[in-house]
Structure 1
Amino acid sequence: INLWELEIMNPIKNEYLIEGYSVPFPYDAYKCQINYMQKILYSLKYKKHALLESPTGTGKTLCLLASTLAFQKHFLISHGSLKKPIENTSSAGVIKSEGGSIELMGVPRTVLENNKETKMDMLIPRIIYSSRTHSQLSQVMRELKSSGISDGFTIELFDTDAENKAKIEKSTSKKRPVIKGGKKLFKATILGSRDQLCVHPKISKFRGNALIKNCRKITKEGKCKYHNNLKQANTSGVAADIQDIEDLKNIASSSDSGYFCPFYATREIESVCNVVLLPYNYLLDSITRQNLKIDLNNTVLILDEAHNVESVSEEAYSFDLRDIDLALSQKAIQNILEATKLGLLQEKESDEQDSEVDISFDIEVAVALATGIHLLSRNLKEIPCPVPTNNNGSKFKSFPKMGEVQGTTYPGSHIYSLFASSGFGIDNFQAIDECLTNMINFGQNLVGPGGNVSSQLDVNSIQINARIGALERFQRCLRLTFNETVMKNPQWFKLYIHYEPDSYKEINGFDENGGQNSFVDPETTDQGLSLYLSFWCFSAAAALSSLVSAGVRSMIITSGTLSPLDTLAQQFSSSNVTFDVFLENDHVIDSESQLWAATLERGNSTNNTHLIGSYEARNNPSYFSSLGSVVFDCVKRIPDGILLFFGSYSLMDQAVKHWTDQGLIERIKAFKSVFIEPRNSFELGSVLDSYMDCIKKGADSSSQNDGYFKDKKAKSGLSDFVLKSKRISSSGSLLIAVCRGKVSEGINFSDNACRGVIIAGLPFPSIADARVCLKKQYMDESKMDGRQWYNQQAIRAVNQAIGRVVRHRNDYGAIILADKRFNQPNIYTRLSKWIRTNTKHLPQLDSRQLDNISDFFEKKLSITVNGTNCQSSEGNNNKEIPTKTLPSNITGNKTTLYGRNPSVVSFPNLSNEINTLLKRVENKNTTKEESKGEENNTNNKIIIPKPFPGLISKVSVPWKRVKTSSPCSESRNSTPWTFSSNKNESSIHENQKRTNFNIIPLEKMNYQEILNNSKNILKEDEFNRLKPYIQNLSQVNSNSLRSIANILFPSYIMDEKELTERKSLALELLKLLSNKYREEFRTMIEKMTSNIDMMKDKALVDALESEL
């Protein structure tokens, strides 16, 4: 009888046989997804390392999970033979024997001494899935949970009698053990930091080091109920049920599970999980990995979103040690030795006798350590190093010239000579490291409850914390220097001795008296400069080879932007790491029909300045004007959200300033709300919310008003063009950001959130940065082209930013590469494959190309109108952005009398078109009989002043129009026509004058009068929404002002009288606002009313065309 049966539950739609593995997949897989999974499974099958590029939107996450879990499941079935039950192992995921019952917990990870016949090949590999951020990992966990691909990990077994069980327990045969049925084998967890996982009401309010110290303190004192309850709480389901970080925090905070600490819980259950998710900096940093005790033996390691792995790996193996760090470290040791002499050590040992933290240390080693630090400080200052000077020769803040390195550079191996001359070597490193660890623990214990320090020490808590922090940094430097991988490969490093201005200290340093981010002790500085000992890594192979040495079976490095793969493989490879599997995957989209992409050399015909967003462009107003014309033309034609990426913050700031001074920003705001990426990450959330809110409100408004406009069309004969053009004024956002910023990666701008990406310039790393210069130098010395590496850094950042526009199979958008250098072969050929396929190379965006952009989005709109939804479909990773009905800024399919599709045009052009049409109507009507014209006369008339005297047309239109001096657009002031069906034209003119927003009377109405007027003018639901805002105007902010404006001016308003009444109401509200918000609200009103006017002009154009 077969005693081991694995029943695969199959809620999955499809299964694919790939490389001999049955891969369950919840959807119909695309060809590119099959190719991707084939490369993954080939790598796992033959223990290879892979570099796989697959564009954003191709379902990388799902493919990674489906293929690796299929491999793990297959391994479980085919390699599950064990000679006997295994007892009491420290490794998780093995067959454990508890109370006579046997349970397969998950993944075997070590070879057991009592089972010598078990080979490494029989151990089931564990999957470690890493990505750049916790938010990305939460998305992976949600994908894992919703896809159902882990549901097959369930054991079903036959019942057996006691005699059979006894035989198995005593058996020396090769029969497989009996396992009780119904055990779910799949377990997964996320390893996060305290910042993400702490649920303590008070402690969780701290951040960074403050959170760590306070957490350790209350757990050590037994005052954290969440930590205290960890062993008693019901955490068994945490690993079995797939939970993201928020789910885990909610469970841990619930009394149903008994309250427990999710931070410590995840570290305990990590050892019994098939899949562990964590940020890849936890893995690439050998010190962090060691502290977390992550076992990499026989693991499948996935590095997703790995376009940053190179920089993160190099940073993990680099350090900067300052002269102030050495000085503070000496003071820290002095304080600790003084505390020991005063007997505080024994006092603390007595207080913490139950603590697991060791605070005892060898005093002789401590004294030798202090001596060594003093010698290192002296030896460092004796190294010849140029000091930055100002023009008069005195020492001062200064930066090296472009492309120069202002400091002294040595090969990486020189670090050992420098440390040896100071008494630090591999022979005494272990003793020194242990002494440092215990001294740091002791120093942290010197700060008692409430931040108090013993009065016997002439030092305060701020000074102690600053000095202990410096000692921790020195310990990290020693650990990296004497790391086994570093010692074997010093050629990957450079030692750089240099001075930096005090601003660097203000960012990274501690002032003993003022705390963090204050000016540093002047006794340790020299004329406002700090001396740096920088040990910099220039090869990601240091981190990757360390991972393989730790036992990684296969490493899958993947992203949407890795190419060129050949040079990347060369940089990542070492003696024990080679990459044999490569893929530059196709996209799931049809680039020809779903992508409009072009490179540009110049702005437009009126400005022939070349678009070259270089460092020198900052001082060229003509460049910003040329770029601004491109942006403005795109804003008028691309619907919904647009992302504009600059190469640097400085270039972005210069552009925004120039466009603001020239009035371009205000012109853009007539079509879209404008947002700018903040430098501070904590402000980004609110900016993105506002950006999306403007897009969503417009799309929702368009959807809700479809019925209204269809009714209008039936009554007035409005064309499809007018129905679509109404959306131009109702939504849209422009977000100005930088490549390599937070907006350019990790955020899902799906569907309407991004219909266009404009790249302004190339984001080359700063050539003034010494680290960039030394990296180029290292690449040349290693026979890898330093210039090519420099170009690749910019192109990879561009590829990443471009990836925001297409997020799934049915997504679409436009890509404008607004820089002449994109036409250069060494730049263009490095763009992602799916972008290169259908990109046009244009000298500029002329009228024909602008019409092509309009046509592209009109076709997408027509597909949606005809019943095919162009939004996301099931099976794609696009759940964060709500599905919209129609793009907002769109033009019609109607062919005009000019034989082309009409595009969104500026006010002067539209006025010219109206005048042309009116002239044609005049010519047409002069040939008709006067009696026929009178017979068909209606109430709605077009009254044409000079130069068309006497012309009265029977054109039927759905609204009433008069000439006015609208402040919303200067171009409208010169419109040479009026149009009205109201006999009392003068009253309308007077009313219009009263609502001119450039004239603000001083008198004010009271709140009750405004409420009464609002009730008479607005619809009931609009009044109910507006009322709370009017009653709380004293608490107004930008968001509430935007809400008020949206209520007052919905996109369906087409009646002149109603619009005038709403303008009057807006004016009364404006007078009640403070000066702080008055101008902002005025701008909102002008934008909305000008958009409505433009929409009505388009309706007139359409009506005139119909007449012809």
Structure 2
Amino acid sequence: MDQTQATQATQGGPGTGPFVTTISGVRVEFPCKPYPSQMAMMSKVITGLKQRKNCLLESPTGSGKSLALLCSALAWQRHEAARVFKLNEEMEAQHLAAKQAQAKDRREKVLEQMKKQKQQLEEQNRSLVDESVFESNVSRDIIKQEPGSSLDISVETSSIPVYDITDDEDEDDFKPAKRTRISKSSSTSIMMNKSGNDALNSNTENLQGNTEIKKGTQADLETDSPYFVPPIKELTVPKIIFGTRTHKQIAQITRELRKTKYANVRSIVLASRDHTCINPAVNKLPNKNEACRELVQNAQRNGGCQFHGRSKNLANFQALASVGLQPAYDLEDLVAVGRRTKACPYYVTRYLMQTADIIFCPYNYMIDPSIRKSMSMDLDGHILIFDEAHNMEDAARESSSFSLKQDELQRCMQDCEKVAKCGTEPYAHEEIAKLISTLSQWMDMQTPQLREKSFNSSGKCWNGTDFLGSVHASGMTQEGIALHQTYFEAIIVQRDQQMEAVRERGNRWYEEKPLITTQSVGVIESIFRLFTELTRENGRYRDDFRVAMSKDNVRQRANGNSGPFRSVQVLSLHLWCLNPAVAFEDIQKQVHSIVLTSGTLSPMQSFESELGAPFPLRLEASHVIDKNQVWAGVIGTGPNGVSLNGSYQNTETLKYQDELGEILYRICNTMPHGVLCFFPSYRMLDTLCNRWTETNVLARIEQDKIIVKEPRSGPDMFQEAMDNFYGAVAESTRNSGSFTCTGALFFAVYRGKVSEGLDFADNNARAVICIGIPFPNVRDMQVELKRDYNTRNMSRGLLGGGEWYEIQAFRALNQALGRCIRHRKDWGAIFLIDDRYLRTPRYLNSLSKWIRSSVMKIICLSSYYAGCSHNL
């Protein structure tokens, strides 16, 4: 390790006390003695941040990677803050010295210029005096020689009278003035003419004026005005934006932060209104975002939101501390304080974001440009850390993809037509309505060309070039779209002004003018985004997208949420991004560094090619456990000799389903406490559960385990399922031997909530059963398009379509396997039920490094059921 010196504050291994180490000149404080994998990860992170390079770090689940990420990144940030503070002081001192030197130089130049001007003035005076003496002598000679002169002029200079010469025609040409006694020293200026006086006065005024200007400049210099030396731009310390997949994972990260010496860092958690809104009236509505915006934007009309108005009371970290909320808080803590103080947690975090040192958020907040815009999130020069980033490629593609339904277009068009009749900017609204109508008509024209994809769905797809050509023929040209964007900008400006007038002054005239809804604004923005993505940078990325139309039969209620269900056809337009680099490129150009971490990143080369970003610093860390802490086996044949091939056709056979049920029963009868069982899809889960109910397999299992199923949707239902599972496992642990059940069995699906982010440490997961291999749905149009896209673009380093397809399956599988081992002293068993592992060696090689060498190929199944628990 480069320049690493370690000193342990207290003796002992992990968990025994704080540990201080220096990595590449950065002092890192760790809450315990780190594992070798943690030291390796911290070294890579610090090196990457110092060199402004990206990192790709794979470390097995349960090896403490989150703690290593936090401590190394925050240690570097603290070190960088000290360095930047010193540099800013040095620059300020240099700037002050430069200003003083400049001021001194300017003063010297002013004094030199004044000296020169004084000399010039003296020379001019001498020249004028000589000229006046000459003129006076000439005048005397003329007067003496003039015949008939009535003046008796004495040659004695002491007796020469002084006359006042005036231009007044009413006065005599020569009027005697008061006789003045003039000394010899001043006699040289007696006969100075009017032009001579003007010249002298002019020069004197110029000198005085220049002196005043220079004195003013001197004063400016003496006050160190920045006019002469450009002001310095202070260096800033990058923020850390720590993203993970779910809010549950964020809660785990903040708990890890509390264990460290960096717990007092200014931290915030960003979340949507769905997680932070505390207004009871808004919480009752299905769309909290729209309801919140309506309350806040039209406060004068509807009274506003009382919680939003009070959010500024907690707009800084001192205010948070005053109400008992310290840094390293989680989202639930913030919401609780918001309820107590009647301040909106959503807007509190928006205010705190400007001064926070570390920001926690779901990582789609960083990737999705529309979310970044709505959250006013600036990534420029900051550090992005993506934890659980194994699906970053999919997340980046999804951030540049979206869908529009035809019924949404029609509602938006009607909204614009209504405003055009009696609202502001009628012409602009009318033109936007015409554009939407043209797009909707184009969709109707394409409907006969849709081909059937499944029994209830049909569709068609275009690449970007073909789509633009098709809509161009319908009248939607690039120039026309640009013109309509100016109309839309005018609508938004007028809309904002109208809402501001109503909000501030309660303007009744504006209140009577209708506005297009926020939903309509979103639909119009999506239309323009569709064309912008395809045409930006002269259409550079247009063939990295596919535009698809689909017609699906779905069940909907007839009257909103209250009517009976009915089957309706929904026509949708989709923009699908096939190249994640399109979204990721904009990010990686502006940030300081990007750190991607997960337990399942292999093969790493796919990330660099797919994301279009270099990752020069990489790590594949080993697990922290010993080999005897995990037992892993592949089961290719059941107890009755039935081949366990998890392909789609085979899983529909009753022999396969019954053999699988028998295996599941035997494992649950043998393994204590919690058991997790993963299925490739909800459909397969439902099919097998129905069959096992008929054959009484579930009834036999329920004699040993309480069975819990992962719900498809609904956070409340999911939390209830988790509580039931954890409760049953806890009861089996407390009352071992006397409790009727020996634990619980959780039926879950790959890529679901159970497979990622949730903690099943110790007795919560003594066994993990993986049924089949979770290949993506081959009939899915997006999967088909992505496979074809990769095959066509292998020349730029992308994985082939077939290899990409397999990688998606094994990353999901490896995530599920990671639920088994959660820390150094954990243990458990892993069952891989599919004979394809035995027939295809590369499938075993696609497993995570930490489990690959431990896998056993089971030939005689029955002997292992009795022995695996004993061996563990």
TM-score range for the pair, normalised by the shorter chain length = 0.7 to 0.9
Q: Retained in 1: the 8 A contact 2:550–2:573?
A: no
Structure 1 equivalent of residue 292 of structure 2:
212
Distance (Å, rounded) in 2 between the aligned partners of 1:552 and 1:517: 50
Q: Retained in 2: the 8 A contact 1:23–1:70?
A: yes
Structure 1 equivalent of residue 61 of structure 2:
56
Matched residue SS, 2:329: coil
Residue 745 of structure 1 pairs with residue 756 of structure 2: yes
Output the amino acid matched with 2:19.
N
Structure 1 equivalent of residue 432 of structure 2:
369
**Residue of structure 1 aligned with 2:46, choices 31, 37, 41:** 41
Structure 1 equivalent of residue 638 of structure 2:
603
The 1:828–1:219 alpha-carbon spacing in structure 2 relative to 1, beyond 3 Å, is farther
Structure 1 equivalent of residue 717 of structure 2:
683
Distance (Å, rounded) in 2 between the aligned partners of 1:337 and 1:279: 40
Distance (Å, rounded) in 2 between the aligned partners of 1:670 and 1:379: 60
The 1:119–1:382 alpha-carbon spacing in structure 2 relative to 1, beyond 3 Å, is same
Residue 556 of structure 1 pairs with residue 595 of structure 2: yes
Distance (Å, rounded) in 1 between the aligned partners of 2:531 and 2:74: 38
- 1:42 positional shift: 1.7
Residue 65 of structure 1 pairs with residue 70 of structure 2: yes
After TM superposition, the structure 1 stretch with the greater mean CA deviation from structure 2, 579-588 or 324-333, is: 324-333
Structure 2 equivalent of residue 523 of structure 1:
none
The 1:410–1:227 alpha-carbon spacing in structure 2 relative to 1, beyond 3 Å, is closer
Matched residue SS, 1:608: coil
Distance (Å, rounded) in 2 between the aligned partners of 1:696 and 1:113: 72
Structure with more helix by fraction: 2
Matches within 5 A, 1:206-285: 206-208=285-287, 209=289, 211-213=291-293, 215-216=295-296, 219=299, 221-232=302-313, 235-237=316-318, 238=320, 241-255=327-341, 259-285=342-368
Distance (Å, rounded) in 1 between the aligned partners of 2:298 and 2:825: 52
Work out the percentage of aligned pairs sharing the same amino acid.
30
* Structure 2 residues not aligned, in runs of 5+: 1-8, 11-16, 93-225, 504-508
- 1:132 positional shift: 1.2
Distance (Å, rounded) in 1 between the aligned partners of 2:591 and 2:466: 28
Q: Deviations over 1:870-913 (max 9, x none)?
A: xxxxxxxxxxxxxxxxxxxxxxxxxxxxxxxxxxxxxxxxxxxx
Distance (Å, rounded) in 2 between the aligned partners of 1:644 and 1:289: 37
Matched residue SS, 2:671: coil
Q: Retained in 1: the 8 A contact 2:55–2:617?
A: yes
Distance (Å, rounded) in 1 between the aligned partners of 2:32 and 2:622: 18
Structure 1 equivalent of residue 791 of structure 2:
780
Output the amino acid matched with 1:742.
K
Matches within 5 A, 1:611-1010: 611-681=644-714, 682-702=716-736, 726=737, 729-783=740-794, 784-823=799-838, 824-847=840-863, 849-857=864-872
Residue 324 of structure 1 pairs with residue 339 of structure 2: no
The 1:366–1:234 alpha-carbon spacing in structure 2 relative to 1, beyond 3 Å, is closer
Q: Retained in 2: the 8 A contact 1:195–1:207?
A: no
Distance (Å, rounded) in 2 between the aligned partners of 1:282 and 1:412: 30
Residue 571 of structure 1 pairs with residue 610 of structure 2: yes
Distance (Å, rounded) in 2 between the aligned partners of 1:644 and 1:374: 50
**Residue of structure 2 aligned with 1:581, choices 611, 617, 627:** 617
Q: Deviations over 1:890-948 (max 9, x none)?
A: xxxxxxxxxxxxxxxxxxxxxxxxxxxxxxxxxxxxxxxxxxxxxxxxxxxxxxxxxxx
Distance (Å, rounded) in 2 between the aligned partners of 1:20 and 1:560: 28
Structure 2 equivalent of residue 305 of structure 1:
388
Output the amino acid matched with 2:747.
I
Structure 2 equivalent of residue 991 of structure 1:
none
Distance (Å, rounded) in 2 between the aligned partners of 1:814 and 1:728: 23
Structure 2 equivalent of residue 127 of structure 1:
240
Distance (Å, rounded) in 1 between the aligned partners of 2:709 and 2:250: 27
Distance (Å, rounded) in 2 between the aligned partners of 1:422 and 1:49: 42
Matched residue SS, 1:366: helix
Matched residue SS, 2:449: coil
The 1:386–1:113 alpha-carbon spacing in structure 2 relative to 1, beyond 3 Å, is farther
Structure 2 equivalent of residue 500 of structure 1:
551
Distance (Å, rounded) in 2 between the aligned partners of 1:423 and 1:113: 51
Distance (Å, rounded) in 2 between the aligned partners of 1:834 and 1:444: 59
Higher relative contact order (CA 8 A, sep 6+): 2
TM-score, length basis structure 2: 0.74
Distance (Å, rounded) in 1 between the aligned partners of 2:565 and 2:61: 45
Structure 1 equivalent of residue 272 of structure 2:
193
Residue 434 of structure 1 pairs with residue 489 of structure 2: yes
Q: Retained in 2: the 8 A contact 1:230–1:265?
A: yes
Q: Deviations over 1:477-536 (max 9, x none)?
A: 3135315867664256333343412318x49xxx8x74799999xxxxxx9644433221
Distance (Å, rounded) in 1 between the aligned partners of 2:358 and 2:295: 27
Matched residue SS, 2:678: strand
Output the amino acid matched with 1:615.
Y
What is the CA RMSD across the aligned residues, in angstroms? 3.6
After TM superposition, the structure 1 stretch with the greater mean CA deviation from structure 2, 139-148 or 37-46, is: 139-148
The 1:203–1:289 alpha-carbon spacing in structure 2 relative to 1, beyond 3 Å, is same
Structure 2 equivalent of residue 906 of structure 1:
none
Residue 140 of structure 1 pairs with residue 195 of structure 2: no
Distance (Å, rounded) in 2 between the aligned partners of 1:438 and 1:290: 17
Q: Deviations over 1:761-801 (max 9, x none)?
A: 11111112111111111111111311111111111111111
- Which structure has the greater CA radius of gyration? 2
* Structure 1 residues not aligned, in runs of 5+: 1-9, 87-111, 152-185, 346-361, 391-395, 401-405, 449-453, 521-526, 703-725, 858-1108
Matched residue SS, 1:579: coil
- 1:819 positional shift: 0.7
Distance (Å, rounded) in 2 between the aligned partners of 1:389 and 1:194: 39
Q: Retained in 1: the 8 A contact 2:41–2:619?
A: yes
Distance (Å, rounded) in 2 between the aligned partners of 1:315 and 1:485: 18
Matches within 5 A, 1:473-484: 473-483=523-533
- 1:436 positional shift: 5.4
Q: Deviations over 1:1039-1072 (max 9, x none)?
A: xxxxxxxxxxxxxxxxxxxxxxxxxxxxxxxxxx
- 1:615 positional shift: 1.4
Matched residue SS, 2:638: strand
The 1:36–1:389 alpha-carbon spacing in structure 2 relative to 1, beyond 3 Å, is closer
The 1:844–1:219 alpha-carbon spacing in structure 2 relative to 1, beyond 3 Å, is farther
Q: Retained in 1: the 8 A contact 2:552–2:571?
A: no
The 1:427–1:654 alpha-carbon spacing in structure 2 relative to 1, beyond 3 Å, is closer
Output the amino acid matched with 2:330.
D
- 1:309 positional shift: 2.1
- 1:217 positional shift: 5.7
Distance (Å, rounded) in 2 between the aligned partners of 1:584 and 1:736: 31
Matched residue SS, 2:524: helix
Alignment: residue pair count: 703
Q: Retained in 2: the 8 A contact 1:485–1:546?
A: no
Q: Deviations over 1:617-653 (max 9, x none)?
A: 3420110121122211211211100001011111111
- 1:844 positional shift: 4.8
Distance (Å, rounded) in 2 between the aligned partners of 1:729 and 1:254: 43
The 1:114–1:754 alpha-carbon spacing in structure 2 relative to 1, beyond 3 Å, is farther
Structure 1 equivalent of residue 471 of structure 2:
418
- 1:211 positional shift: 4.1
The 1:478–1:427 alpha-carbon spacing in structure 2 relative to 1, beyond 3 Å, is closer
Matched residue SS, 2:52: coil
